[in-house]
Amino acid sequence: MQYKRILLKLSGEALMGDRQYGIDPKRLKEYAQEIKQVLATGVEIAIVIGGGNIFRGVAGAANGMDRVQGDHMGMLATCINGLALQSALEDEDVHTRLQTALEIKEVAEPYIKRKAIRHLEKGRVVIFGAGTGNPYFTTDTAAVLRAIEIDADAILKGTRVNGIYNVDPEKDKNAIKFDTITFKDVIKKGLKVMDMTAFTLSEENKLPIIVFDMNTKGNLLKLISGEQIGTVVDN
């Protein structure tokens, strides 16, 4: 087994499925089933989920809202998604804990690194909500930060494209996919993997990033089993 402990980053938008807004129960169930399969292989799984299907702070700011206010709304949105994912996982009989970076004690545990690690060791899926708890940071940054803190072997970034290409594959059908690429080459070629804060944090801490298509059934399990899925960014 290639990985002992992973941090899975899921986008909030992906939870919309074919909808324009909110959570698609079918997509949520599919994700829960994929995660359950991978957990059964013995890998420890932590998850950071975005909130863009409900609210994006940046979009709020673009419409004249105070950025900090908007980011707080975005953080709460990730908690809503975290609760939804927790329910979906528990429907599949997966043990979970939700920990949040902002305290909402009646709803979820506060983020405590040592507790998170104990939960993982006991085979529970730990979902981290509320991003980093700070405005001006993305959930990608939260994912990298938590991955480093819990000593994950890699961050698996689930997207709707199956990896990193030299040009946008949704705009150019001749786009070429990289199987592996270095952090330095991503920057040199001006490719977009994560925002720079998240990306450099990952590079400095030698945390590999794997970008893969989470919406193709079985992909997550294949990736964990060592198949060439997506693109690996490494030193």
Q: How far is the CB of 120 from ligand GTP (least distance, A)?
A: 11
Q: Which is nearer to ligand GTP, 77 or 127 (CB)?
A: 127
Q: Which is nearer to ligand GTP, 24 or 109 (CB)?
A: 109
Which residue, 70, 52, 72, 73, is CA-closest to 61? 70
Q: Which is nearer to ligand GTP, 99 or 141 (CB)?
A: 99
Phi and psi based region of residue 230 (left: phi greater than 0; alpha: psi -120 to 50; beta: remaining): left
Across the chain, which distance is largest between two alpha carbons, in Å? 51
Q: How far apart are CA 224 and CA 138, in angstroms?
A: 25
Contact characters 122-161, ligand GTP, x per CB under 6 A: x---------------------------------------
Q: Check whether 132 is labelled as a binding-site residue.
A: yes
Q: Check whether 10 is labelled as a binding-site residue.
A: yes
Q: How far apart are CA 235 and CA 184, in angstroms?
A: 8
Q: Which is nearer to ligand GTP, 111 or 178 (CB)?
A: 111
Q: Which is nearer to ligand GTP, 86 or 138 (CB)?
A: 86
H-helix or E-strand spanning residue 48: strand 44-49
Q: How far apart are CA 58 and CA 39, in angstroms?
A: 34
Residue span binding ligand GTP (CB under 6 A) among the ranges 101-109, 163-171, 176-184, 186-194: 101-109
Residue with the CB atom nearest ligand GTP in the bound state = 109
- Of 1, 105, 171, 190, the residue at the interface with ligand GTP (CB under 6 A) is 105
Does 118 participate in binding ligand GTP (rule CB under 6 A)?
yes
Q: Check whether 97 is labelled as a binding-site residue.
A: no
- Of 24, 30, 92, 109, the residue at the interface with ligand GTP (CB under 6 A) is 109
- Contact 97/124 with Cβ under 8 angstroms? yes
Q: Check whether 163 is labelled as a binding-site residue.
A: no
Does 93 participate in binding ligand GTP (rule CB under 6 A)?
no
Which residue, 147, 138, 157, 145, is CA-closest to 52? 138
Cα–Cα distances (Å) from 198 to 133, 140, 186, 193, 221, in that order, read 15, 6, 13, 9, 25
Q: How far apart are CA 39 and CA 8, in angstroms?
A: 12
Which residue, 81, 104, 90, is CA-closest to 16? 81
Residue span binding ligand GTP (CB under 6 A) among the ranges 18-26, 30-38, 52-60, 100-108: 100-108
Size of the site for ligand GTP (CB under 6 A): 9
Does 59 participate in binding ligand GTP (rule CB under 6 A)?
no
> Residue numbers of the site for ligand GTP (CB under 6 A)?
97, 105-110, 118, 122
